[in-house]
Amino acid sequence: MKKVKVAVLGATGAVGEELLGLLVERNFPATEIRALASAKSAGKKLQIKGREFIIEEAKPESFAGIDIAFFCAGGSVSKAMAQEAVKRGAVVIDNTSAFRMDPEVPLVVPEVNPEDIKLHKGIIANPNCSTIIMLVALAPLERHFGLQRILVSTYQAVSGAGVKGMEELDNEVINPNYIPQVLPVASLPKHYPIAYNLIPQIDVFDAEGYTKEEWKMVKETQKMLHRPELGVTATTIRVPVKRCHSESIYVELNKDFTLDEIKEAFSNAPGLVVLDDPENQVYPMPLDLEKKDDVYVGRIRRDLANKRGLNLWVVGDQIRKGAALNAVQIGERLLLD
Ligand SMILES: NC(=O)c1ccc[n+]([C@@H]2O[C@H](COP(=O)([O-])OP(=O)(O)OC[C@H]3O[C@@H](n4cnc5c(N)ncnc54)[C@H](OP(=O)(O)O)[C@@H]3O)[C@@H](O)[C@H]2O)c1
């Protein structure tokens, strides 16, 4: 594998810090890792997995000589900086939603559509966390049986709202009088407690009553599966869980199936682990799966009213596979070419 110079933009954030850790842990073949954030963090030192990173303020010239730049500093920063990095010769792997629906930008989960990586023109988009986790589980079903329709309800961790979302849950648990300031959406006027609560809003609503997060699950799924006509409907809910997203997924398949065939397809799928033994109360739970790389599937049941209908319960660490790990895996694939 060739050696490269790497930058992580947003290195002090939930995703950026995880990403730095993964680069170290997976021995990413980097001769240099530049850790970038806003001016307020310049000079700050991060100790991650035995390595020290000194944060630099992100500027266009920060990307000179960089081969791969992981962007995790928010959509507006990506829009302002990505072309600057590309101009200087870097491939940008972008964690934000800035370019995901751009037809010129491939949107990739390596277990789902790795072939799209080579279509990039300098930017590759990393999908939304709930979509990544769902598609790692559904890709083998699409491959073996064909997906007819997807209905999904999510139970999303506070880490999806970044470091501030995680701090808000901790603060509310410690202090019942704490006034929420971040969830459901930091920029909106109303905030609700997440401790001992569920919030049926992730991001802003559109005129039809769906949130942006729900639309991401629809549109990004259609793009990655190359099926713009595929029926997908989503309800996304914030729950008082630290960092794993859980999803109750109902799919209708194009072919008849047995549950053994479904489990075999899952067992052979990369990045997916079957955890399904109801008799012994074995099923995926978010608390158990923090910091795990794989996505877990359980509660695998046929819809008794529809022989091609299937119910699943899927859980994955959303900072890891839902964001940082998926981005690093895209980077690893790039280096194989
Ligand atoms: N959390 C998730 O699970 C997740 C999953 C998928 C995608 N994403 C996306 O990834 C991005 C980061 O999310 P996060 O949860 O890691 O957020 P976060 O914890 O709030 O961290 C934000 C990071 O961006 C940096 N930043 C902010 N403004 C900047 C600027 N003007 N110039 C340079 N750096 C700047 C911050 O640096 P300072 O500390 O210096 O302010 C910090 O390092 C978002 O677009 C988010 O939607 C997040």
Q: Which of 59, 63, 72, 291 to probe ligand 1 with, by most ligand atoms within 8 A of CB? A: 72
Q: Give the mean pLDDT of 217-224.
A: 98
Q: Which of 317, 325, 320, 316 is nearest to 297 (CA)?
A: 316
What is the pLDDT at residue 6? 98
**Lookup result for tokens 């809910």:** 237
Catalytic residues: 129, 245
What's the confidence (pLDDT) of residue 42?
98
Query: 210: closest CA among 152, 265, 258?
Result: 152
Q: Could you give phi then psi for residue 238, rounded to 5 degrees?
A: -90, 135
**Residue 267, number of CB atoms within 10 A of its CB:** 12
The pTM assigned to this predicted structure is: 0.96
pLDDT at 89 over 80: yes
Helix 325-336 × helix 14-25 angle, to 10°: 50
Task: Give the three-state DSSP class for 233.
Answer: strand
- In this prediction, residue 125 carries a pLDDT of 98
In testing the pocket of ligand 1, which one of 12, 15, 167, 185 has its CB within 8 Å of the most ligand atoms? 15
What is the arithmetic mean of pLDDT over 118-139?
98
Q: Are 115 and 92 in contact (CB under 8 A)?
A: no
- Average the pLDDT over 151-162 and give the result: 97
Give residue-wise pLDDT tens across range 22-53.
999 999 999 999 999 999 999 999 999 999 99
Average pLDDT, integer, range 183-212: 98
pLDDT at 1 over 80: no
Q: Is the pLDDT of residue 233 over 80?
A: yes
Decide if 4-127+323-336 and 131-318 have a common fold: no
222 — pLDDT class (breaks 50, 70, 90)? very high
How far is residue 291's CA from residue 152's CA, in Å, rounded to a whole number? 23
Q: Determine phi and psi for 51, rounding to 5 degrees.
A: -115, 145
Contact, 303 vs 309, CB < 8 A?
Answer: yes
The model's pLDDT over 236-262, given as tens digits with 9 standing for 90+, comes to 999 999 999 999 999 999 999 999 999
**144 pLDDT above the threshold of 90:** yes
- Contact between 152 and 234 under an 8 Å Cβ cutoff? The reply is yes
Domain range annotation of the chain: 4-127+323-336, 131-318
How does residue 281 score in pLDDT terms, banded at 50, 70 and 90? very high
> Quick one: 282 exposed, middle or buried, by C-beta within 10 A (0-12, 13-18, 19+)?
exposed
- Please report, for residues 145, 168, 185, 204, 294, the alpha-carbon distance to residue 271 in angstroms, rounded to integers and kept in the order given: 19, 31, 31, 31, 5
Domain 131-318 listed as CATH 3.30.70.1350:
no
Pocket of ligand 1 from Cβ distances under 6 Å: 10-16, 37-38, 40-41, 58, 72-75, 77, 95-96, 129, 159-160, 162-164, 318-319, 322-323
**Domain over 4-127+323-336 is classified CATH 3.40.50.720:** yes
- Tell me how far the alpha carbon of residue 280 is from its chain's centroid: 30
Does residue 92 contact residue 122 with C-beta atoms inside 8 Å?
Answer: yes
Answer for the pair 145, 228: CB distance below 8 angstroms, yes or no: no
Query: Do the beta carbons of residue 60 and residue 36 sit within 8 Å?
Result: no
pLDDT of residue 252: 98
User: Would you call 100 helix, strand, or coil by DSSP?
Assistant: coil
Q: Calculate how far, in angstroms, residue 13's C-alpha sits from the geometric centre of ligand 1.
A: 5
Alpha carbon nearest to ligand 1 atom 1, residue: 160
Share of the chain above pLDDT 90, in %: 99
Mutate to test the pocket of ligand 1, among 38, 45, 330 (most ligand atoms within 8 A of CB): 38
Say how far apart CA 60 and CA 3 lie, in whole Å: 23
Region 280-298: what's the mean pLDDT? 98
What integer pLDDT is reported at residue 32 of this predicted model? Answer: 97
Q: Which atom of ligand 1 has the smallest separation from the CA of 73?
A: 24
| Cα-based distances in Å from 277 to 155, 227, 229, 247, 297 | 21, 33, 35, 18, 11
Report the separation in Å between the CA atom of 12 and the middle of ligand 1, taken as the mean of its atom positions. Answer: 8
pLDDT for the residue 2? 79
Residue 177 has pLDDT above 90, yes or no: yes
Q: What is the largest CA-CA distance in the chain?
A: 61
Compute, in angstroms, the gap from residue 73 CA to the centroid of ligand 1. Answer: 4
pLDDT of the residue at 256: 98
Structure tokens at 108: 């990739």
If 0-12 CB within 10 Å is exposed, 13-18 middle and 19+ buried, where does residue 332 land? middle
Average pLDDT, rounded, for the chain: 97
Give, for 274, the enclosing helix (H) or strand (E). Answer: strand 272-274
Q: How far apart are CA 300 and CA 320, in angstroms?
A: 24
